[in-house]
Structure 1
Amino acid sequence: MSELVKNNVRLKEQKKLRFIDLFAGIGGIRLGFENAFKENSETVFVSEWDSYAQKTYLANFPEPKTIAGDITKIDEKEIPPFDICLAGFPCQAFSMAGQRKGFDDNYKGICRGTLFLDVARICEYHKPKVIFCENVKGLVIHDKGRTFKIIKSTFEQLGYNVFSQILNSKDFGVPQNRERIYIVAFRKDLGIESFSFPVATNSSKKIRDILEENPVSAKYYLSTTYIQTLIRHKAKHEALGHGFGYEIRSLDGTAGAIVCGGMGRERNLIIDKRQKDLTPVTHIKGTVNTDGIRKMTPREWARLQGFPDSFNLTLADTHLYKQFGNSVTVPVIQAIAKKIKEALNEQK
């Protein structure tokens, strides 16, 4: 019997693995894990405090019917038993693009830098087989590495073998240069003493591979006045020795990491001259530029993150840009989840 057949038999014999999805966003981590584990998994609990992210999540996942809000107010005893904890805890406290306050970060009365301790609190009570976390690359070097050391040691003290690695989305079938740190922790009694993260699967994708198939609305094309504003903004920062400012990406190249705020969209402009009707559809200053300079659409951002075209985009663009900028790259998550699945099968 081949090893592949053996693995399939083992999966059929076992019960479904139960996931909980904390700091769920729009469900990117869940989607990656469900793609890997397929019918041998079920998500039994979801927590996400942003009401708009909740709407997108519920538009795409049938179960559970409700999403819990603020994790700091959730009693761990009220969460159903689970096997794998999925947790993309907030990254703003450690981001290179932010103020990098880490454990001192405070937003709307919630200390984002220590929200991972709520993950620890919940996992200490339930003792799942696996804890999976994703965060920005800057987490590794924040506070000279002390922050990351605290996070790892916290999970180790709970009885887990902890593994981590930085992976780049552009190596997994999407044209986006997005480095993130991934943490996988196995409960020590499972006997999993080593873990290999996935290697690159596909680095060939280009921006043109994710473009909308048809010409997009003129609303995505920049006005002449706004382009001049961007040019002045970039020149100002270049004079100060900064690298900030707009950037037009080659269609045969790779997008920069998409982010939810600031220059997120303007750092990934493209030239697309397919749209011939440049009549303004929104109130703008000046006229729509005739050089084909436009922002990518929310669907194109979804594709940059590896979301399938079947993923429902029901909200206004403003919310969708924020949600995909905050989300994860699904194919990377799926590749890691497959490795976790293999490790659990070998343990059995």
Structure 2
Amino acid sequence: MVVSYTEIKNKYNLEIKKVTDNKLAYITHFLQNIGDNSAEYFRLEAEKYLSNNDFDFNNIKWNVPFPPTDNPTFKFIDLFAGIGGMRTAFQNLGGKCVFSSEWDLYAQKTYYENYGEVPFGDITEIDENSVPEHDVLVAGFPCQAFSIAGRRGGFEDTRGTLFFDVARIIRAKRPRAIFLENVKGLVNHDKGKTLEVILNTLRNDLGYYVPEPKIINAVNFGVPQNRERIFIVGFSLETGINEFNYPTPNPNDLRFIDIREENPVSVKYYLSTQYLETLRNHKARHEEKGNGFGYAIIPDDGIASAIVVGGMGRERNLVIDNRLTNFTPVTNIKGEVNREGIRKMTPREWARLQGFQDEFNIVVSDAQAYKQFGNSVAVPAVQATASVLINNLIGMGVV
């Protein structure tokens, strides 16, 4: 008898309480992998909390926006998962995620709401041997400098950094391919030494074919946002793959107006007259000194700058939305709303700038949502590159 995941959640009270508790990670990973040998990696812990007498776990209706893939072509793991941007791209290509890890509690909640799976927490505490076998390792790892003084800059030099945790899982599980994502600044980070260590580790210590990394701009792959990120792909030598061509840029005509909220948005997103004046004065002072300043007004037919978190991140892409300009004086918590209709983009608009479908549920505060989408990836750019990677694996008959 088919049972909905909502019924299971309600029966066992499967709600996230704290990020340090991996109980829900074991349970949800087990349930999502039933019918596959990956489930055995989680069964022992999961069955401490579940009773097979209650439901037939072989017939779960995953009533979440993005359920696990049926009849997958390949398996992948999602490290430093955030809210699942990389997962979405690889699932769209027919992949099945068999393991995920993300330490931020609010990102875990968003991930759970949309995929029905709670990621495991701190990756530094994960035993690499507890990770299921997989075809592709996916990771958007943080950028950290390495100390390579007196050594060649390889696997040993990554210890103490989060890249080490990626490397030790690669070493233990030998996935057929890897897909890593990072900020454009990785190229020059620590005068290029950081990228040097990463590539040396992957190529020489771990024995992977790794072509030169590529900086990909999301604006060329289906979203109206200039967002450059570095992608690093690699293949185990056992695959026989020794060449790789990154996808050809394919610009389109999408502009801000194409991703704007359909209905007038809440007055809370509009800048107050006082705050707008402060912004303009601040910008004028910086321009007099020859300094850059983050805020800009994106026209309806314009392309957004990369959405970022922290500082003036939400003011980097202001827009003019006149749909609320025919009001009598309206105030929000910051004062009277400006009559020009200048406002911040909404979390949903940020989601669309990153290529997330509208079915993607936003279940956190605006502050957390901006942080999550700003830290995520442009899904179409990842998917375009991942498609080439998967086609290479399929072409060689290794998935």
Q: What TM bracket, shorter-length normalisation? A: 0.7 to 0.9
Q: Is 2:260 aligned against 1:208?
A: no
Match of residue 136, structure 1, among 163, 183, 196: 183
1:278-318 deviation digits (Å, cap 9, x = unpaired): 7657422x310010100000000000000001111111111
Q: Secondary structure at the match of 2:350?
A: helix
Q: Which amino acid aligns with 1:283?
A: I
Q: CA deviation at 1:143?
A: 2.3
Match of 2:353 in 1: 304
Distance 1:221 1:131 in 2: 43
Match of residue 207, structure 2, among 125, 134, 159: 159
Q: Secondary structure at the match of 1:43?
A: strand
Structure with more relative contact order (C-alpha pairs < 8 Å, separation 6 or more)? 1
Distance 2:251 2:263 in 1: 25
Q: Percent identity?
A: 55
Distance 2:134 2:294 in 1: 45
Judged with a 3 Å threshold, the aligned counterparts in structure 2 of structure 1 residues 331 and 279 are, in CA distance, closer, same or farther, namely: farther
Q: CA deviation at 1:82?
A: 1.4
> Where in structure 2 are the equivalents of 1:248-259 lying within 5 Å?
248-259=297-308
Cα-Cα RMSD: 1.9
Q: Is 2:129 aligned against 1:77?
A: yes
> Where in structure 2 are the equivalents of 1:9-158 lying within 5 Å?
16-36=73-93, 38=94, 41-62=95-116, 65-91=117-143, 93=144, 102-103=145-146, 114-156=161-203, 157-158=205-206
Indicate conservation of the 8 Å contact 1:32/1:333, yes or no. yes
Q: CA deviation at 1:58?
A: 0.5
Structure 1: tracts of 5 or more residues without a match: 1-13, 94-101, 105-110
The number of aligned residues is 314
Q: TM-score, normalised by structure 2?
A: 0.75
Q: Is 2:290 aligned against 1:290?
A: no
Q: Secondary structure at the match of 1:20?
A: strand
1:242-290 deviation digits (Å, cap 9, x = unpaired): 1113211121110000001111111100001012447657422x31001
Larger radius of gyration: 2
Q: TM-score, normalised by structure 1?
A: 0.86
Q: Secondary structure at the match of 1:32?
A: helix
Distance 2:380 2:72 in 1: 25
Q: Secondary structure at the match of 1:274?
A: helix
1:202-249 deviation digits (Å, cap 9, x = unpaired): 332111111011111111100011112211221222233211132111
Q: Secondary structure at the match of 2:352?
A: helix
Indicate conservation of the 8 Å contact 2:181/2:232, yes or no. yes
Q: Which amino acid aligns with 2:182?
A: N
Q: Secondary structure at the match of 2:216?
A: strand
Indicate conservation of the 8 Å contact 1:278/1:288, yes or no. no
Match of 1:108 in 2: none
Match of 2:313 in 1: 264
Q: Which amino acid aligns with 1:47?
A: S
> More deviation in 24-33 or 192-201?
192-201
Indicate conservation of the 8 Å contact 2:305/2:317, yes or no. yes
Distance 2:271 2:309 in 1: 19
Indicate conservation of the 8 Å contact 1:47/1:68, yes or no. yes
Judged with a 3 Å threshold, the aligned counterparts in structure 2 of structure 1 residues 229 and 209 are, in CA distance, closer, same or farther, namely: same
Q: CA deviation at 1:142?
A: 1.6
Q: Which amino acid aligns with 1:20?
A: I
Q: Which amino acid aligns with 1:184?
A: V
Q: Secondary structure at the match of 1:183?
A: strand
Q: CA deviation at 1:162?
A: 0.8
Q: Secondary structure at the match of 1:325?
A: helix
Distance 1:320 1:200 in 2: 29
Distance 1:81 1:128 in 2: 7
Q: CA deviation at 1:345?
A: 1.5
